[in-house]
Amino acid sequence: MVETSDKWIFERTGIRQRHIVDKGVAASHLAVEAANKALRERGISGSEVEAIFLATVTPDMMFPATACLVQDRLGAKGAWGYDISAACSGFVYALQTGTKFVESGVHKKVLVIGSDVMSSIIDYTDRATCVIFGDGAGAVVIEPATDDNYLIDFLHEVDGSGGCSLNMPAGGSLNPSTHETVDKKMHYVHQDGQAVFKYAVRKMAEASDTLLKRNGFSAKDVALFVPHQANKRIICSSAERLGLRDDQVIINIDEYGNTTAGTIPLALDSARQQGRLKKGDLVLLAAVGAGFTVGATLLRWAC
Ligand SMILES: CC(C)(COP(=O)(O)OP(=O)(O)OC[C@H]1O[C@@H](n2cnc3c(N)ncnc32)[C@H](O)[C@@H]1OP(=O)(O)O)[C@@H](O)C(=O)NCCC(=O)NCCS
């Protein structure tokens, strides 16, 4: 489709493959599948879910929220929820939202989902973006802590001056859909790759470092660093700045590409499957995304 090579893609991004949905499959479908898997593992039925926070930049529609479509299909009668738009930081932001409702005692079973069908907004004639993004979703269930394993702290930051570096210009109230917006390819992802790259490396490390230090930890205490999977070079540079060894970092971008809100829960799943997450492990999540949005979370793995 574009002038590129497997060699270029792998060397510059670390990506070997991406997954693209079939026609008619939307973010809600991936979200329901991920949510059902997570609920099954915990032995929880959909009807027990009290709230759903769903991170996505590719909702099925502008409204209703994809969280509502998911609630219905899960049979989560009585649950409430909404979508969170924070691009690649969406999952960590949704995780905090869900956690706060559990910590405050308001809810006991909350679903947090990251789901994106990036193929629906990618221009497959733009080699700078089409080789990076893929479709994917992941979900976690948040329940009250029964021991010392809990979400320790988080650090979130947005810098709206970076909005021009990564966006989808049309389809919202500023540029409603017209023939012209379609002709000008304004419904696709537009990205200044280098600007995003530089910001991501700096902020992912900075936010993680601040979070560790203010909680009295250093890099050697981290059992697993779970970074947003945007580019292997961004992950490795951030890890190096933090002083982390390779065995402390989970990388699965080779398998999925950048699935936006899906990357961190997918990476957690890869880590579990590889036996790299044990009860009590100190886990550091970090993401940078369009906005710019920055998020880092420090937690002790609970199961
Ligand atoms: C997009 C990205 C992979 C490009 O890699 P890069 O090393 O920065 O590449 P550059 O943009 O400097 O381009 C270098 C050259 O490769 C070319 N190139 C870009 N994409 C290419 C592709 N898929 N195949 C072959 N060549 C490509 C460019 O045209 C440029 O050619 P030129 O030197 O003749 O002008 C990289 O900038 C990146 O990952 N940025 C962050 C993206 C991101 O994380 N987005 C999500 C935010 S969470």
Which pLDDT does position 148 carry in this prediction? 76
The per-residue pLDDT for range 252-284, each reduced to its tens digit, is 999 999 999 999 999 999 999 999 999 999 999
Which pLDDT does position 146 carry in this prediction? 82
Which pLDDT does position 154 carry in this prediction? 97
With a cut of 80, say whether residue 179 has pLDDT above it: yes
302 pLDDT tier (thresholds 50, 70, 90):
confident
User: Is 228 designated active site?
Assistant: yes
Q: Which residue lies with its CA nearest to atom 12 of ligand 1?
A: 194
The per-residue pLDDT for range 82-131, each reduced to its tens digit, is 999 999 999 999 999 999 999 999 999 999 999 999 999 999 999 999 99
In 3D space, the residue among 25, 46, 36, 43 whose CA is nearest the CA of residue 113 turns out to be: 36
Q: Which residue lies with its CA nearest to atom 2 of ligand 1?
A: 193
Query: Is there an atom of ligand 1 within 6 Å of 230 CB?
Result: yes
Centre of ligand 1 from the C-alpha of residue 257, in Å? 14
Q: Which residues pair with 287 in a beta bridge?
A: 295
pTM: 0.96
Query: Is there an atom of ligand 1 within 6 Å of 194 CB?
Result: yes
The per-residue pLDDT for range 5-32, each reduced to its tens digit, is 999 999 999 999 999 999 999 999 999 9
Q: Is 40 exposed, middle or buried (0-12, 13-18, 19+ CB in 10 A)?
A: exposed
With a cut of 80, say whether residue 149 has pLDDT above it: no
Q: Which residue lies with its CA nearest to atom 29 of ligand 1?
A: 128
**Average pLDDT in the 52-65 region?**
98
Which pLDDT does position 303 carry in this prediction? 79
**Average pLDDT in the 235-258 region?**
97
Atom of ligand 1 nearest to the CA of 128: 20
Query: Is there an atom of ligand 1 within 6 Å of 130 CB?
Result: no
Centre of ligand 1 from the C-alpha of residue 136, in Å? 22
Which pLDDT does position 107 carry in this prediction? 98
**Average pLDDT in the 47-73 region?**
98
The per-residue pLDDT for range 210-232, each reduced to its tens digit, is 999 999 999 999 999 999 999 99
β-strands 224-227, 282-289 pairing: parallel
Percent of the chain whose predicted confidence (pLDDT) is above 90: 97
> Looking at 107, 228, 231, 252, which residue is catalytic?
228
Percent of the chain whose predicted confidence (pLDDT) is above 70: 100
The average confidence (pLDDT) of the chain is: 97
> Looking at 88, 107, 231, 252, which residue is catalytic?
88
Query: Is there an atom of ligand 1 within 6 Å of 131 CB?
Result: yes
* Beta-carbon-side half-sphere exposure of residue 78 (alpha carbons within 13 Å): 8
In 3D space, the residue among 25, 52, 26 whose CA is nearest the CA of residue 39 turns out to be: 52
Kindly report the number of other CB atoms within 10 A of residue 156's CB atom. 16
193 pLDDT tier (thresholds 50, 70, 90):
very high
Q: Which two tokens stand for residue 67?
A: 């969280």
